[in-house]
Structure 1
Amino acid sequence: MGKNKMVTNIEEETIEFTDSENLFEDIGFSKKDSVKMKMKSDLYIKIVQTVRLNKYTQHQVSKILDIPQPRVSKLLTGKIDNITVDSLVDYA
């Protein structure tokens, strides 16, 4: 964990932040929430990368994961607020 400084060109103001490898923690979420959010984010990225790499259609993903196509659409467009970590683990 290190301290970094960023200088804005507009106001010449120095802003310090901690580099924790977890963006969610860096921007002020609690440790517990930031771990959960990072996990969801990492799983989401892995799922989308797999779908793109294999050039799957939403219909194919729906069949593979045995979930309705509208849920696939939400998943692939990043609308994962209502999708649990457990579900993302199952999908990954």
Structure 2
Amino acid sequence: MKIHRLTVDGKDYFLPDPIDELRAQILAAVQGGGGYVNIPPLRGGPGIDILFSPGMPVTWTQLDIGESGEPGAPGSGSGQDSDDESFEDPYSSL
């Protein structure tokens, strides 16, 4: 499952799909010298209006969240990464 994260001035906002229109609105606001853009919530609700302006730090991130059935995937509950061969259990000698 893919989750989109928008980081604005150090604050994270998780976004529902699709994000193409939202990206275009933010870009237009910045190119126009600044403007408010409504950031929709991941779940129901009114969202939040953010004033975007040139020079404001904005980062887009797409996160892959593993399904719970995949071994070693985030959220699988295994607690260990099966690909990390350098891991040594400090309690194995007890």
Name the TM-score, length of structure 1 as normaliser.
0.25
Indicate the structure with greater helix content.
Answer: 1
Question: Which structure is higher in RCO with an 8 Å CA cutoff and minimum separation 6?
Answer: 2
- Greater share of strand: 2
